[in-house]
Structure 1
């Protein structure tokens, strides 16, 4: 049992070195003998640790070649792309319930903070920042850290993915007045501590955003069709023969 615990300790130490960048993906781990000396354990213990690392998909053992570090399977999902449609749908689902929860527990101080963001939006004072603060205040008012972290992550995606940034800029520029009015309705529902109304107001807000996303997507698709059509027309046109 002691030896079993020992090899798991070695597994954790090697994984820590991999995650720190000492052994990056694609690199080869030191030979078994060298690892045994480094960690001051027996070579059989190192072999057991390597087997466990292989099962955990952290390394690839190649006969007569060595042990090679693999990409961490638990972090590969970070490379997955999220579309503006997916982000908006997720926000609608999570933030709708966040608004319903917040309506129950939101404080007067938080309501004052929300009202301050509305004033900033109305006066054109960093409206994008005010928009973000509005939604984050509501998420924190739920008193649920998981919801708060989720909403924060949504905004990180919104502000870091170039395609989403571009699309959302077009969405927000469509109508500042509509955005402000929708936020006001959410605020008033929260002020009344009406969960159903707060949820509905938040859903209404995101429904408009989704519809604008569809309009933008359709406009881009039509523009692409026109572009391709013009290219085909130029390719097969007989105008040069009849002029």
Structure 2
């Protein structure tokens, strides 16, 4: 997968993350009255075109606005302004989003895997294979796979014998839990069945076993690119599920009416 890129943004650099700028611009439009309470705001595609940013950026912005209570999803019908929008809805610090975090992981963990390929031990490789079994078990039990998946990536980081690299990888994983926005997006992914992909982790192990830095880098970057794809699909599926729920509700209401 190519890195997520967008055409030049109309948002002006101000030290905030791009999704935060997009969220602030949409919030400002709501507060100006461009979108009234109860009104549906434009689609992801339209907002992305308006602000000249990627759809993932807009998706993170909309989820951020939903988490802070300024907008809400309505059973697949779209995103609507809440009835009494707060003027300080974005005062909550949402920190980092899952797309942004995973792109950072793709960059740093790709290079980490390349370096680890030069120094990884047989004991490390055995431990990675054990963690594959743990991931398979966690996937079967539908418990999220977080513990084994996290440890898998940290074993690779430790194999570099560089404590600074280990600290960076640990901090990137810890951000998954400390950021409300990231946690919300990952929870949505888990709810629709997104799990660690065993085959991709096996490709990483093989590249490390071959002591091939280029292959290890590629395997790790490809794996994390597919994680981004999974997040995109999960948030789209989340919308589709709300649409299905709305249709089922309408069918049930119609059935009750015709039975009278």
User: Normalising to structure 2: TM-score of the pair?
Assistant: 0.51
Inter-CA distance 225–205: structure 2 relative to 1 (3 Å threshold): same
Distance change in 2, residues 1:198/1:169 (3 Å): farther
Q: Is 1:92 equivalent to 2:109 in the alignment? A: no
- Call closer, same or farther: CA 1:184–1:223 in 2, change over 3 Å: closer
What are the equivalent positions in structure 2 for 1:126-145 lying under 5 Å apart?
A: 127-145=145-163
C-alpha deviation, 1:167, in angstroms:
2.0
Cα displacement string for residues 41-86 of structure 1 (whole angstroms, at most 9, x for unaligned residues): xxxxxxxxxxxxxxxxxxxxxxxxxxxxxxxxxxxxxx57111111
- SS of aligned partner of 1:167: helix
Normalized per residue, the structure richer in helix is: 1
Q: With CA pairs under 8 Å and 6+ residues apart, which has the higher RCO, 1 or 2? A: 2
What pairs with 1:15-54 in structure 2 (closer than 5 Å)?
Answer: none
Q: Distance in 2 between matches of 1:118 and 1:223?
A: 31
Residue 187 of structure 1 corresponds to 205
Residues 1-243 of structure 1: pairs in structure 2 closer than 5 A:
81-124=95-138, 127-171=145-189, 174-176=193-195, 179-218=197-236
Residues 193, 158 of structure 1: alpha-carbon distance in 2 compared, 3 angstrom cutoff: same
RMSD over aligned CA atoms reads 2.8
CA distance in 1, matches of 2:243, 2:130: 45
What is the alpha-carbon distance in structure 1 between the residues aligned to residue 237 and residue 134 of structure 2?
32
**Structure 1 spans left out of the alignment, 5+ residues:** 1-78, 227-243
Equivalent residues, number: 148
Deviation at 1:142, TM superposition (A): 1.2
- Residues 220/130 of structure 1: CA separation in 2 closer, same or farther (3 Å cut): closer
Does structure 2 retain, via aligned residues, the 8 Å contact 1:171–1:209?
Answer: no
CA distance 1:208–1:170, shift in 2 (3 Å): farther
Q: Deviations over 1:29-52 (max 9, x none)?
A: xxxxxxxxxxxxxxxxxxxxxxxx
Of structures 1 and 2, the larger Rg is shown by: 1
SS in 1 for 2:197: helix
Give the 3-state SS of the residue equivalent to 1:200 in structure 2: helix
Go from structure 1 to structure 2 and tell me whether the alpha carbon gap of 1:185 and 1:169 turns closer, same or farther (over 3 Å shift).
farther
| 1:173-227 deviation digits (Å, cap 9, x = unpaired) | 6454x6111111111111111111111111111111111222334456788999x
Cα pair 2:185 2:235 within 8 Å, conserved: no
Change (3 A) 1:220 1:123: closer
| Structure 2 residue runs without a partner (length 5+) | 1-92, 245-260
The residue number in structure 2 matching 1:49 is none
- SS class of match (1:123): helix
